Amino acid sequence: MTSGFVPFGDSYLVAGTDGVGTKLRLAFDIAVHDTIGIDLVAMSVNDIVTSGAKPLFFLDYFATGHLDVDVAELVVKGIVEGCRQSDCVLLGGETAEMPGFYAKGEYDVAGFAVGAVKKEEVIDGKSIQKGDVLLGLPSSGVHSNGFSLVRKILEASQTKLQDPVPWEQDAAAASIGKALLAPTVIYVRQVLGLAQAVRVKGLVHITGGGFTENIPRVLPSGLGCRIDSASWQVPGLFRWLQKAGNVEEQEMFRTFNMGIGMVAVVDAGDADAALAHLGNACVLGHIVEGDGVQF
């Protein structure tokens, strides 16, 4: 993801762009295309909202070798839904048909979001201090990062996407493929609402790099965080991936969101009010002296 700030009067325009990565491969394999657009919007708007910016508009780029109108319509349907969830306008987009460039039935997508935040309301992590509390907002699954490892695990364990999920009591209700393709949660409304309720000092979108690489980016020099991994229940999907792929715990937290898609840093005195406002969040840990992420 690349993003940046542009001064605009008493505000900043905040722009971000991203794709969906190799999650697309699973969509091709089981012909599920109606949620990819939600993922596409989510990856950009979840990033720009970490600065406190409200998404204003979104543009998409859809490229394929031969345009399948039905597939493209499903992808755009998801994009429209993602924009609805993030309260932004789908301003436009580009559909590129490039014969011979993509394999039959395949496509790629990219998204571009622009938002705005008042200069005095920017969330940048600079005020974070020792003792502050980290709150975790639950994810819906793998979201849109880590799918190269997911595909390796599926191959090594000889697991088919059509297999029923083995980690829940109603395993017959959903396939592994559909569970892995669950659309990324869009946190815009939750985050902007939280920022109105309490002072949010920092926000972290848990994407590629998991906890280990993403959280330190928002912390001032000399500070790290201590995470209590027992403070939330890691979804069965991740525990199954860990077992099926024989993946070390440290690598799991470096690659996946482990059930937490967004992290907010607030003053310890605001933690209860923040939890009451969010409803579905948990206390992940605290800010400590040092650096990096401790478990």
Q: How far is CA 135 from the centre of its chain?
A: 16
For the cut 90, the answer to whether the pLDDT of residue 2 exceeds it is no
Residues 114, 14 contacting (CB under 8 angstroms) = yes
Distance separating alpha carbons of residues 145 and 68, to the nearest angstrom? 26
- The structural architecture, per CATH, of the domain 133-294 is Alpha-Beta Complex (3.90)
Report the pLDDT value the prediction gives residue 170, as an integer from 0 to 100.
Answer: 53
Contacts of 33 (CB under 8 A, 6+ apart): 27, 71, 74, 75, 78
Q: At what angle do helices 69-85 and 36-48 cross, to 10 degrees?
A: 30
CA 165 → CA 141, 148, 162, distances in Å?
A: 13, 20, 9
Average pLDDT, the chain: 95
Give the pLDDT band (50/70/90) at residue 115: very high
DSSP of 55-73, one letter per residue? EEEEEEEEEESS--HHHHH
Residues 239, 141 contacting (CB under 8 angstroms) = no
Report the pLDDT value the prediction gives residue 251, as an integer from 0 to 100.
Answer: 95
Mean pLDDT across 14-27: 96
What burial class does residue 35 get, using C-beta atoms within 10 Å of its C-beta: 0-12 exposed, 13-18 middle, 19+ buried? Answer: buried
Residue type, 27: A
Among 66, 229, 44, 251, which residue's Cα sits nearest to residue 146? 251
28-32, 107-111, 148-152, 173-177, range with the lowest pLDDT: 173-177
Give the pLDDT band (50/70/90) at residue 173: low
Report the pLDDT value the prediction gives residue 167, as an integer from 0 to 100.
Answer: 84
User: Which of these CATH numbers, 3.30.70.141, 3.30.2290.10, 3.40.50.300, 3.30.1330.10, describes 2-121?
Assistant: 3.30.1330.10
Distance separating alpha carbons of residues 274 and 42, to the nearest angstrom? 23
The predicted model scores a pTM of: 0.94
What are 219-269's pLDDT values in tens digits? 999 999 999 999 999 999 999 999 999 999 999 999 999 999 999 999 999
Q: Kindly report the number of other CB atoms within 10 A of residue 10's CB atom.
A: 8
Mean pLDDT across 28-36: 96
Structure token pair of residue 254? 């470096």
Q: Kindly report the number of other CB atoms within 10 A of residue 174's CB atom.
A: 13
The residues spanned by each domain of the chain are 2-121, 133-294
Report the pLDDT value the prediction gives residue 174, as an integer from 0 to 100.
Answer: 82
Give the chain's end-to-end CA distance (angstroms, integer).
Answer: 26
Report the pLDDT value the prediction gives residue 1, as an integer from 0 to 100.
Answer: 47
What are 208-220's pLDDT values in tens digits? 999 999 999 999 9
What is the torsional sign of CA 32, 208, 52, 196? positive
Backbone φ, ψ for residue 266 (5° rounding): -135, 165
Mean pLDDT across 168-197: 88
For the cut 60, the answer to whether the pLDDT of residue 118 exceeds it is yes
